[in-house]
């Protein structure tokens, strides 16, 4: 059988407490052609020793601490696979995750990116995602403007797609995935397969989703997207509407908490993109 090589990239920083579970879930996949690349983003805990114990079962890239976008991008640069999959170091895969996605791509040769459903664990307990987190399939661009509907740990994509749209934006300390998925989704359908094959863990203190004031990074992403010139007329109109709403709400929150300079900066940024929309 022709099984294309899949490169799996795990970025990690000081997560020795969780990393072995993520690595073992990749090495335990029932898909035969897997290249595992772990990018250690300057860990100061037991991570280097943990990874060394795996020997040649994986490739380790060691960096000075520079953030998750830079770590993932280094992994992509080293990847040899036709397809690329990402896994966060606190998440896990069920054994058939890669094989089911590979089968999806074989059955749908026009597809270039897909994600699986997930099982959510928060503080050790199973939880159900809210209705607004339900993953759409196909043209997800407008739905994804409001919140991130693609999970890095669930995605597999063709490597050429990243060459076309670019990698993770290293200038964004958070919401870097929101930014990339929008750049992909404005031109490419993002499909969701029905099986929940990712165990997504949350609730711990070092999650990027707990970074304060996340919408300021989403606003930056929307401004950049509008300036890129790649959006259709309808997509640009929808993006401007979401930018105006996010900018108005974020600026109002800043003023409420005494951060007037930040409110003014956001207002200027949005007004430069959508003149006279917020005040």
Q: What pLDDT digit, counting tens, does each position of 106-163 carry?
A: 999 999 999 999 998 887 778 876 666 678 899 999 999 999 999 999 999 999 999 9
Residues 244 and 267: beta-carbon distance below 8 Å = no
Q: Residue 30 belongs to a domain with what CATH number?
A: 3.90.550.10
Confidence check: pLDDT of 257 > 90: yes
Q: What pLDDT digit, counting tens, does each position of 43-74 carry?
A: 999 999 999 999 999 999 999 999 999 999 99
Question: What is the C-alpha to C-alpha distance for residues 272 and 95, in angstroms, rounded to an integer?
Answer: 49
Domain boundary among 210, 227, 248: 210
The H-or-E segment that residue 131 falls in is: none
- Position 2 scores a pLDDT of 85
279 part of a folded domain: no
Confidence check: pLDDT of 209 > 60: no
Confidence check: pLDDT of 279 > 50: no
278 part of a folded domain: no
| 16 and 123 assigned to the same domain | yes
Tokens 């992403």 belong to: 221
| 196 and 235 assigned to the same domain | no
Among 212, 258, 221, which Cα is nearest to 243's?
A: 221
- Position 262 scores a pLDDT of 94
| 256 and 152 assigned to the same domain | no
Q: Which domain holds residue 120?
A: 6-210
- Position 28 scores a pLDDT of 98
| 181 and 236 assigned to the same domain | no
Domain boundary among 195, 210, 225: 210
Task: Give the pLDDT mean for 223-228.
Answer: 95
- What Å distances lie between residue 140 and 107, 164, 189, CA to CA? 21, 19, 7
| 107 and 220 assigned to the same domain | no
The verdict on pTM exceeding 0.85 is yes
């Amino acid at each position: 059988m022709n099984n294309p090589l899949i490169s799996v990239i795990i970025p990690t920083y000081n997560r020795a407490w969780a990393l072995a579970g993520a690595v073992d879930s990749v090495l335990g996949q029932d898909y035969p052609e897997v290249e595992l690349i772990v990018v250690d983003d300057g860990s100061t805990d037991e991570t280097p020793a943990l990874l060394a114990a795996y020997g040649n079962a994986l490739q380790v890239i060691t960096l000075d601490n520079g953030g998750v976008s830079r770590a993932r991008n280094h992994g992509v640069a080293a990847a040899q696979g036709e397809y690329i999959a990402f896994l966060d170091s606190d998440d896990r895969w069920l054994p058939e995750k890669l094989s089911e996605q590979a089968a999806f791509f074989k059955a749908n040769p026009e597809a270039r990116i897909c994600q699986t459903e997930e099982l959510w664990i928060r503080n050790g307990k199973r939880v159900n995602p809210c209705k607004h987190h339900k993953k759409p399939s196909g043209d997800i661009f407008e739905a994804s403007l409001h919140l991130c509907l693609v999970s890095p740990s669930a995605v597999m994509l063709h490597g050429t797609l990243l060459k076309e749209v670019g990698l993770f934006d290293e200038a964004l300390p958070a919401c870097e995935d929101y930014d990339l998925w929008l750049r992909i989704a404005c031109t490419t359908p993002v499909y969701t397969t029905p099986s929940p094959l990712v165990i997504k863990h949350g609730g711990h203190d070092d999650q990027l989703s707990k970074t304060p004031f996340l919408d300021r990074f989403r606003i930056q992403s929307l401004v950049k997207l509008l300036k890129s010139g790649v959006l259709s007329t309808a997509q640009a109109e929808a993006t401007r509407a979401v930018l105006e709403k996010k900018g108005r709400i974020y600026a109002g929150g800043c003023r409420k908490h005494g951060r007037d300079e930040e409110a003014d900066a956001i207002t200027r940024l949005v007004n430069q993109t959508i003149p006279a929309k917020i005040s």
